[in-house]
Each structure stands twice: as structure tokens, then as C-alpha cells.
Structure 1
Amino acid sequence: MRFPVMALALLATLAFIPISQAHAAQREAIFAGGCFWCMEPPYDKLEGVVSTTSGYIGGESERPTYEQVSGGNTGHAEAVKVVYDDEVVGYETLLDVFWHNIDPFAEGRQFCDVGSQYRSAIFPLDQRQRRLAEASKEAVETRFERDVKTRIEPKAPFWDAEEYHQNFYKKNPVRYRFYRAGCGRDDRLEAVWGDDAGKP
């Protein structure tokens, strides 16, 4: 009876190796780019992205609601948390996608949404992410020869938004397209980034 037991134990051990390796490669990144509905799609399209979650970050209160955040009194920004496979896509690429989906010259707003809750910001989760974020911001400023208003803010708790906000562009495609067009997001992105607007 020893051999079957040992064999089963070995198989069980081997079965967990790919799973643990996969989890080891997963990382998180958090970006605020105005309405979080519009920040999920470009990352969902990106190979190596495992998931995106809309939420709130950078404020003082715990477990804020959409009504509280949208009122502009909590200090939070609408943001998206990106879980990605670091062996497939790097943080540098996520930063590139971020920049090409925001207006880096708008302060305290993005497109038609006005208020600090719609500010553009990067929330590095470690020193490496911070160095890369700062370098990417400098690169944008050099390219345009203008001051970039996007903030690089301290790591802070991320609170998931209500379920109806998650994957909103999939759940309510007509309303999403109407909002995005009415807000002038794509027109402004094209004006800033040209053919690179809205990457990927």
C-alpha cells in the first residue's frame, strides 16, 4: 500500500506547482483616470491582465459609497485596480496604457467630469512602481514640453466600488457608449495623443 500512497502524495504536490507559480507572477497596479467605467476596457483588452476592479482610493473615510465619493467630500478618486501576470505584461506597459487613456494636462478633472474625485493619479504599490511611474511622467512632460497635472500619490487602501459599477461597459453597453461620447473622452484623447489615443 506504500507505493500508491506515495504516488498520490507526489501527484498532489506536483499539481500545486503550476498554481503557486501562477500566483507568484500576479501583481497589482492602481490607476485613477477619471470615470472608472472608462478605465476598465483598455486594460481588459491587454494580454496578461487577469482582472480589473473599479473602486475608490486616496481618501480619508473607510468603505466609501459612490454617493459619498461622487459628492467630492471624501478625498477619494475613482480608480481601477489591475491584477496582471508580470511574466506576460510589465508595469511599464500598464503605465503606457494609462497615459494614453487620460488627459494628463487636466487638473482636478477628466473630460466632462469635474472635481478631485475625477483627478488622474498613479498609486504605486512599491518603490519599483514609484520609480517607473515618476520616469513615465517625466517622459510625458518631455514629449509635450508641458507640466503634467497627473499626480503620483502614496499607497492607500483601495475600496471596491458597488457591484453595478463593475464591468459597466459590458453590463450596460448602450449607456456606456452614450456617456463616453457625451463626455468628449475620445475626442480629447485623439487631440492629445493622436493615433496612439486609447491604447491598447
Structure 2
Amino acid sequence: MRRLLFLLALPAVVLATVAAGCGTSEPLPPAGPSVGMALDPALADTVVFAGGCFWCMEKPFEELDGVASVVSGFSGGTVANPTYDEVSRKTTGHYEVVEVIYNPQVVPFDTLLQVYWHNVDPFDDGGQFCDRGSPYRPAIFVRTPAERAAASATVAQVQEKFGLPVLVPVLDAAPFYAAEDYHQDFYRTNPAHYNRYRTGCRRDARLDQLWGDAAGHLGPAL
């Protein structure tokens, strides 16, 4: 009922954007140049995060010194090279994710974890915010025992902070597939569409409720 009342109260233009979902397949303006910084491959590391709409997970990581690029895509499913349309039908098992390519000598893994938590609702495993269903589940994908230990430690910290069970699993890394070009850096290339979606989905309202001044970016320790 709350969601129904909220949707009825939204302007028509916002409703249309929310109904289309995070990754609308409607025709959109062409993407601009990708944000990023040069990084010696020998210094690069990667991590994959699922936090609901991948559009909304790019910007907070791209703002960090030491992050070379953030790529929207899919992981954790059973179909190779899935398209957005295939994933959105919720039959491939994939999560919408971002792959963060970074220099751990500049930005440590623990910092990336802190930014991740400040951009998700840890207590919702049925999706994130207004996006519902399996593609929008939150998760942290790890490649090493050290990453698993670090991620699991932050799960415990968030649980202690709120006194609630965290519903974000720490999963073994799975193949990552980049999404279509028009999804990349969407917050920059289509800012009006992005902002309507983000407002209509009430993402920031929920993050503010959970995280206060730290919502959406690097803030005080968990």
C-alpha cells in the first residue's frame, strides 16, 4: 500500500521513468566518452559489486582517487554474454553489477567496501529501492580469501551498527559481462533521465535514512 500511494503521488514524467526500470531499452542519446584514469595493468585490481541499478553505482566509485574505471554489467548468472533485455526478463540469474578497476596502492579494498555499503540498503534482498527482482539483488563478489574476510568483517560491522540481519551475501567471483554502451556512465551522458529515475525510485531518501551524512559516498567508518 505504501508503494502504491507513493507511485500515485509522483508526477507523470517520473512515473514513466520508474516504470521503465533502471536499464530502460528505450532509444537514448549516444554515450559520451568514458570517465577514467590511466592505470598500469600491473597495478590494477578489480572487484564486482551488485547494488541494484548499475547506473547508480558508477558515480560513487568513479569519484574516488585511485579508481581507473567503473563498468556497468552483469554477473552471477548462467548465460554467457547476456543482453540487458535477457537479464531484465529475470531468467538468466544475473545480477546488475559494476566492475571497479582500481589501484589498491591508492585506494584500498576496505575503502571500496565502505563506499559500497553507503550506497545500498543492506536489509533488502528482494531488489533495491523501487527495482524489484533477481537482477537488482545486492551482493559482493570476491576473488580471494583476503577479500572474503574483509567483506565478511564489514557485514558483521553493519549488523552490529543497526542490530538487524544483513541480507547482502559475499559470493565467489563469477564471469563479468559488460552491459550495452548506452548504460555506461549513464549519470553523465543522460543526466536528466538519470536524475528523474533516482528521485522517483527514492534511492537517496532511503540512503539518507540509513546512513545520514555518509549516504552515497565515503564517510565515517561503518
- How does the TM-score come out when normalised to structure 1? 0.88
Q: Deviations over 1:64-120 (max 9, x none)?
A: 110011111110000000000111000000000000000000112100000011000
Structure 1 residue 51 and structure 2 residue 69: aligned? yes
SS in 1 for 2:40: helix
What is the aligned counterpart of 1:145 among 145, 159, 163?
163
> Could you say which residue in structure 1 is the equivalent of 2:125?
107
Structure 1 residue 92 and structure 2 residue 110: aligned? yes
Report the alpha carbon displacement of residue 127 of structure 1 after superposing the two structures with TM: 1.4
What is the aligned counterpart of 2:213 among 189, 192, 195?
195
Report the alpha carbon displacement of residue 191 of structure 1 after superposing the two structures with TM: 0.6
Q: Which runs of 5+ in 1 are unaligned?
A: 1-20
Q: Which runs of 5+ in 2 are unaligned?
A: 1-38
CA distance in 1, matches of 2:64, 2:117: 15
Whichever residue aligns with residue 80 of structure 2, its letter is E
> Could you say which residue in structure 2 is the equivalent of 1:174?
192
- Computing the radius of gyration from Cα coordinates, the structure with the larger value is 1
What is the aligned counterpart of 1:68 among 83, 86, 89?
86
Report the alpha carbon displacement of residue 153 of structure 1 after superposing the two structures with TM: 1.4
Q: Deviations over 1:139-171 (max 9, x none)?
A: 100111110011111211000000110111111
Report the alpha carbon displacement of residue 125 of structure 1 after superposing the two structures with TM: 1.5
> Could you say which residue in structure 2 is the equivalent of 1:7?
none
SS in 2 for 1:153: strand
CA distance in 2, matches of 1:99, 1:76: 20
SS in 2 for 1:73: coil
CA distance in 1, matches of 2:141, 2:104: 17
> Could you say which residue in structure 2 is the equivalent of 1:131?
149
The structure in which a higher percent of residues are helix is: 1
Whichever residue aligns with residue 62 of structure 1, its letter is A
CA distance in 2, matches of 1:188, 1:157: 30
Whichever residue aligns with residue 192 of structure 1, its letter is L
Report the alpha carbon displacement of residue 23 of structure 1 after superposing the two structures with TM: 2.7
Question: Identity over aligned residues, as a percent?
Answer: 49
Structure 1 residue 28 and structure 2 residue 46: aligned? yes
> Could you say which residue in structure 1 is the equivalent of 2:18?
none
* RMSD over equivalenced CA pairs, Å: 1.0
Report the alpha carbon displacement of residue 49 of structure 1 after superposing the two structures with TM: 0.4
Displacement over 3 Å in runs of 4+:
none
Report the alpha carbon displacement of residue 135 of structure 1 after superposing the two structures with TM: 0.6
